[in-house]
Amino acid sequence: MKQYDTFNFPKAYRDIALEYVNYKQSLGFKYSYVEQSKVNRMLRFIYAHSKSDPILALQPELVKAYATKNDNESARTLHTRQSHIRQFALFLNLRGISAFVYPKELVKVSKNFVPYIFTQDEMNRILREADAIKPNKNKFVNTPYIYPAVIRVLYGCGLRVSEALALKCEHVDLDNGILVVMKGKNNVSRLVPVSGSLRQYLSIYNSKVVRMGNPHFFPALHKERYSPTTIRNQFRRLEEKAGISQLSTGRYPRVHDLRHTFSVHALEQMIRKGMDPYCSLPILSTYLGHKGVESTEKYLRLTKQYFIDILQFSHENAEKIFPEV
């Protein structure tokens, strides 16, 4: 449940690990606990297999062994490992340690990923199951309130899971219906308006939750905050109970797909109000905290397909609304 900020690296390589993490953070990268855990995996491999003196004088054989595909490993996971060991070698060279740098041409990752867009009926079923949650094994009184509220914020505001869990009480203005997202992805801070119905729901939630001095809007035990992994696991269990179908991969839609669903539904509403789809993009892009409109453009294609598949628009009528998609 606990959300840590700094990985507890083993003593053998703690100093170099923390120096590398601090270096990356000084460049503007957040380098969260999850990223640090990947650094730990890399350093554990290096210290277990390096035959160099010093250990960090990375030889080509060692680097290539770490950057080689494992059984049943996705291209994305391999790409991440290759990137990590390449970036670490560049860092070592800056420190005067001669290390082999993995080539810049990393394994290609498919960009054809299509997110899952939940229907309104599916969302109703998921929320119904979330509202039925009881206190957990630790008898934590907030459990029945936390998960339904987090899911509603993800679905109703399009926040990333990490952004929602990082919210502190001071960042939630329920009087005016504004969430202040501090240093989200790409270190972008933004104001996120909340709908009237969600603001009312969160006001009721806020009156029920027991904080005991915890500053987080979604408080965990011992003044901690929830881990994104905890939310993802709970969401998958809720999908099973709600009868959400598994994808062709055998997995369930991700909790991050709530953000995609919000984006498509938001575009749908703006288009229904007569706004030009392309004029809507900068608004949605700012709301989502994207670096540029390019990151938001994919939702036009998804929204067009949503109009055809879900709202039963003909291809001809959809083309009138989305003439250049």
77 lies in the same domain as 184: no
For position 268, what pLDDT does the model report? 76
What is the Rg, in whole angstroms, of the alpha carbon atoms belonging to the chain?
Answer: 22
Residues 286 and 189 occupy one common structural domain? no
Residue 5 in tokens? 């900020």
- Same-domain check for residues 82 and 153: no
Q: Encode the chain (325 residues) as per-residue pLDDT tens digits.
A: 455 667 899 999 999 999 999 998 887 777 778 889 999 999 999 999 999 999 999 999 999 999 998 887 888 889 989 999 999 999 999 999 999 999 988 888 766 567 788 988 999 999 999 999 987 766 678 889 999 999 999 999 888 898 999 999 999 999 999 999 886 665 667 888 899 999 999 999 999 999 889 999 999 888 888 889 899 999 999 999 999 999 888 889 999 899 888 888 887 777 777 776 666 666 666 656 655 444 544 555 555 555 555 445 455 554 544 443 3
Provide the number of structural domains found in the chain. Answer: 3
Question: Which residue, 271, 269, 274, 268, is CA-closest to 303?
Answer: 268
Instruction: Identify whether residues 284 and 315 lie together within a single domain.
Output: yes
- Same domain flag for 159 and 264: no
Residue 102 within any structural domain of the chain: no
By the 8 A CB rule, do 190 and 288 touch?
no
Judge if 125 and 231 occupy the same domain.
yes
Contact 280, 271 (CB under 8 A): yes
Structure tokens at 103: 């080539």
Q: Helices 120-131 and 143-157: crossing angle, nearest 10°?
A: 160
Same domain (yes/no): 142, 87:
no
The answer as to whether 111 is a domain residue is: no
User: Tell me, what's the pLDDT at 314?
Assistant: 53
Confirm whether 108 is domain-assigned.
no
Do both 70 and 170 map to the same domain? no
Partnered with residue 179 across adjacent β-strands are 172, 192
Residues 50 and 142 in one domain: no
Residues 187 and 301 in one domain: no
Residue 310 corresponds to which tokens in the numbers above?
């879900």
Whether 160 and 184 share a structural domain: yes
Please give the Cα distance from 253 to 271 (Å, whole number).
26
pLDDT of residue 280: 62
**Of 172, 207, 242, which residue sits at a domain end?**
242
pLDDT at 222: 80
Q: Is 137 a domain residue?
A: yes
Residue listed under structure tokens 């460049």: 27
pLDDT of amino acid 202: 97
Residues 189 and 182: beta-carbon distance below 8 Å? yes
Convert the pLDDT of each residue in 90-119 to its tens digit: 999 999 999 999 998 888 876 656 778 898
Cα separation of 5 and 37, whole Å?
11
Q: Where are the alpha helices (DSSP H) in the chain?
A: 14-26, 33-49, 60-66, 75-94, 120-131, 143-157, 161-166, 196-208, 228-242, 257-272, 277-288, 298-309, 315-321
Full DSSP string of 39-70:
HHHHHHHHHHH--SSSTTS--HHHHHHHTSPP
Of 208, 242, 276, the position where a domain reaches its end is: 242
For 231, half-sphere exposure in the C-beta direction (CA atoms, 13 angstrom radius) is 29
110 within domain boundaries: no
Which sign does the torsion angle of CA 304, 310, 316, 318 carry? negative
Structural domain including 29 reads 11-94
CB burial string 210-243: b at 16+ within 10 A, e below: eeeebebbbbbeeeebbbbebbeebbbebbeebe
Name the pTM for this structure. 0.65
Is the distance from CB of 71 to CB of 102 less than 8 angstroms?
no
